[in-house]
Amino acid sequence: MTIADALEYLEGHGILNVELARKVCTRLHAELSEEVIISWKSREEAWERLGFVATREGPDTGVDALLLSYDICEQLGIDPAPGHMVSGKGFASRLNQQAIARVLAEKGLQ
């Protein structure tokens, strides 16, 4: 996975499985924080409480891509995360993605 691939997963509207979220974090020089892992007991609960359609029935866990982008920003010292300046998940995640890419480039982390 390239840095560009990892950043793409932070697009703001998706729920990543925990394994993929760990890989994204590792590639972006961060750690997956337990605080960003969400859980649900059924597809119905995922929809009603969390607002997304789960891909399978039964209990599961995942990570909201936008929340993950904020967490990675914090870990990289981007404070405040630029996504806080706008409304809309897509706009916010894009600003966070750009800031993460910029910091990694400035630090020479590839």
The domain in which residue 101 lies consists of: 3-106
What does the buried/exposed string (b/e) look like for 33-62 if buried means 16 or more CB atoms within 10 Å of the residue's CB?
Answer: beebebebeebeebeeeeebebeeeeebeb
Structure pTM?
A: 0.93
The CA distance from 57 to 66, in Å, is 23
Q: What is the pLDDT of residues 33-59, one digit of tens each?
A: 999 999 999 999 999 999 999 988 999
Residue with tokens 């990289």: 76
* Amino acid 12: pLDDT: 81
Please list the ranges in the chain whose pLDDT falls under 70. none
The count of domains in the chain is 1
